[in-house]
Chains A and B, each alone.
Chain A
């Protein structure tokens, strides 16, 4: 009883279930459409559930510029659940509105509308008949690929323009390398490896359409050929020679390079001194320092009346001089080394500026007087008068008795007049030795200006005379340097000696004492014309 009840229930349930499966069809879905050559197209749809009843599908479309709703002209050519539009029914550049209607005994189901323009759904077939071969060439074999355009495309009329793309890979790897072929239906691949199997595929597109599927693969195996490694070695050698060459150039031109990279820094240069001589022997050093030295010009001296120091013995001095020229006396302290060279200017007077001169005189006087304690030789300084042409030396002041050694130079300035002074003729007289009470041994150098100390040694004027012998109180026997010891050349020198020529000078040694030591040359100097 119970089993019968259960069985009946089961039957009822199954009947109910079965009766529930019958329903209107599910909504179909349009999958898409495609035109392989821009002349026909096909659309596919996906049917929904069929509701248990036999369901039919109808493909309906509406078209721009075409009245009414139409049904698919061809359900069969393209397979199941498809609709094929042939050339007659295909129009480009117009919109199609597609729907699929599924219907069965219980009802209908309409898909969503699907709008297409044939221009947009173009996708060509893959190219076919691909042949891949290895072409033999001397050292560089290559792969040659050839194919055909898809059969349904019409390129002859210019309706479509096909462009191709292909890709290669070696059999073992998964990396494809793509190349574009344009509109050519063949392609060459160079630089291939030996003993490798290559696989190639081709695809195409029409104008700006979608790309087709990749074609079937075609493969070939390359044979073993001797691969030239020339390019590698050529590249390597060329790359290595470049730095080598630059190194050579640098080494050969290292001086130039050094000059470029490390320019010499100029060192200090003293004008007139050759630095190289300083590095040599002491004599050379002296030469270097002295030879090229040019003292500043003494043109300034022209304008100034120079002071001169007259060392004189009052007795010997011509009266005219003593009365006219002596204005002040100047005492110079003993033991004072006066570097008259440097004090030329200080002691010189500006003839225009006598007041200044007097001041200086005062100074010097004061200075001298302050050192009055020191014994020394009094030197009379006489101011030069414009008309003075010559100067005289007067001997020392006999006041003092001690030995004075003055080794400096005393400037003598010789003036013809204020404007025309031959400043080159600056007579230096060096007080060589003071001996005894009243003796100054003067050595007069005729130095040309302050600049030319050197010439003293070279151009010893002929006025230098060597004291050969002291004869008596007032006589010196002088010997000319150039000549030999001849009595005929001796001449006695007096203070009043008349010069042989205007430039010849006479020696003036006054007050020769018994202790006279003459060891050097005694310069002659011109006697004043006033004498």
Chain B
């Protein structure tokens, strides 16, 4: 009888303690706020990356619509992130493991922070081009998004390390070590500045898609649940 009561009480206590309060959520664990769970962090990060990819697709398609009528273009393009080795299909992504996947994500995000911030500058300087207001707004926005997403993923990685899900081999990665020419200058091809921007946008679209997919795989391998 006593045992039954004890178990009941323990269950009640556990249930009560696990209830989510209405305290504000904070990232640093300040006094008086609840830390978000890992699942919540994942959701936020994935949402953010999805949005970033959407904007990059829009930018690319608008660019192609206005400036480049023919769809299939000559010339093999090269992205400035070619030095970063990324898994190029599902099996490989699942095979390399969480730590490496996280590292790849962080590298990619680190490599794209500066170019996208400079992209808007470069766009507005070029008088030949006539980016409409809607696109220029997105161009401004996307520069910040890359930085924010990078910070978010870093925090998430820290949390995963704390939880023991991630090994400590993942460290802070400086983007310069893997990118030969950081920034937008990689894409300059002489006089044809519109070409530079086209390559930049298609490379960015691709890499943002990679980031999004990798994050989703990371989530489902770390926290298999309803969404996966």
Rounded to whole angstroms, the CA-CA distance of A110 and B212 in the bound complex is 37
The answer to whether A91 touches B88, judged by C-beta atoms less than 8 angstroms apart, is yes
Interface residue? A367 (CB, 8 A): no
The 7 closest A-B pairs by CB, nearest first: A158-B220, A158-B216, A91-B88, A158-B228, A159-B90, A115-B72, A93-B206
Q: A38-B90, A157-B228 are in contact. List 11 more A-B contacts (CB 8 A).
A: A39-B90, A92-B213, A95-B76, A112-B72, A114-B72, A157-B217, A158-B220, A158-B228, A159-B217, A207-B212, A208-B57
21 residue pairs from A and B, CB less than 8 Å apart: A39-B90, A87-B89, A90-B89, A91-B88, A91-B89, A92-B88, A93-B88, A93-B206, A97-B76, A112-B72, A113-B72, A115-B72, A119-B206, A154-B90, A156-B220, A157-B220, A158-B220, A159-B90, A159-B216, A207-B50, A208-B54
Rounded to whole angstroms, the CA-CA distance of A154 and B89 in the bound complex is 13
Of B54, B76, B209, the residue contacting A119 (CB under 8 A) is B209
Which chain B positions have C-beta within 8 A of A64?
76
0 or 1 for each of A82-122: is its CB under 8 Å from B? (1 = yes)? 00000100111111010000000000000011110101000
A: residues with CB less than 8 A from B are 38-39, 64, 87, 90-95, 97, 112-115, 117, 119, 154-159, 161, 183, 207-208
Rounded to whole angstroms, the CA-CA distance of A159 and B87 in the bound complex is 13
Rounded to whole angstroms, the CA-CA distance of A341 and B88 in the bound complex is 122
0 or 1 for each of B42-77: is its CB under 8 Å from A? (1 = yes)? 000000001001100100000000000000110011
Interface residue? B227 (CB, 8 A): yes
Which chain B positions have C-beta within 8 A of A154?
90
The answer to whether A92 touches B89, judged by C-beta atoms less than 8 angstroms apart, is yes
Which chain B positions have C-beta within 8 A of A117?
206
Which chain B positions have C-beta within 8 A of A207?
50, 53, 212
Interface residue? B107 (CB, 8 A): no
Interface residue? B91 (CB, 8 A): yes
A124 CB to nearest B CB, Å: 15
Rounded to whole angstroms, the CA-CA distance of A208 and B94 in the bound complex is 22
B63 CB to nearest A CB, Å: 14
The answer to whether A156 touches B54, judged by C-beta atoms less than 8 angstroms apart, is no
Which chain B positions have C-beta within 8 A of A93?
86, 88, 206, 209-210
Chain B interface residue bracket vs A: 20 to 34
**B174-228 residues at the A interface, CB under 8 angstroms:** 206, 209-210, 212-213, 216-217, 219-221, 227-228
Which chain A positions have C-beta within 8 A of B86?
93
The answer to whether B89 touches A158, judged by C-beta atoms less than 8 angstroms apart, is no
Given contacts A119-B209, A208-B57, contact A156 B89 (CB under 8 A): no
Given contacts A113-B72, A207-B212, A208-B54, contact A94 B88 (CB under 8 A): yes
Which chain B positions have C-beta within 8 A of A158?
216-217, 219-221, 227-228
B98 CB to nearest A CB, Å: 13
Which chain B positions have C-beta within 8 A of A87?
89, 91
Among residues of A, the one whose C-beta sits closest to the C-beta of B57 is A208
Which chain A positions have C-beta within 8 A of B94?
157
Rounded to whole angstroms, the CA-CA distance of A275 and B54 in the bound complex is 83
A133 CB to nearest B CB, Å: 25
Which chain A positions have C-beta within 8 A of B227?
158, 183
Of B54, B73, B213, the residue contacting A159 (CB under 8 A) is B213
**B142-185 residues at the A interface, CB under 8 angstroms:** none
Which chain A positions have C-beta within 8 A of B93?
159
Which chain B positions have C-beta within 8 A of A159?
90, 93, 213, 216-217
From B72, B89, B206, residue with most partner A Cβ within 10 Å: B89
B123 CB to nearest A CB, Å: 23
B124 CB to nearest A CB, Å: 27
B107 CB to nearest A CB, Å: 15
B161 CB to nearest A CB, Å: 21
Rounded to whole angstroms, the CA-CA distance of A157 and B227 in the bound complex is 9
B194 CB to nearest A CB, Å: 18
Rounded to whole angstroms, the CA-CA distance of A114 and B209 in the bound complex is 22
Rounded to whole angstroms, the CA-CA distance of A158 and B91 in the bound complex is 12
B97 CB to nearest A CB, Å: 14
A70 CB to nearest B CB, Å: 16
A208 CB to nearest B CB, Å: 6
Which chain B positions have C-beta within 8 A of A112?
72
The answer to whether A157 touches B90, judged by C-beta atoms less than 8 angstroms apart, is yes
Rounded to whole angstroms, the CA-CA distance of A454 and B98 in the bound complex is 115
Rounded to whole angstroms, the CA-CA distance of A119 and B88 in the bound complex is 11
A446 CB to nearest B CB, Å: 94
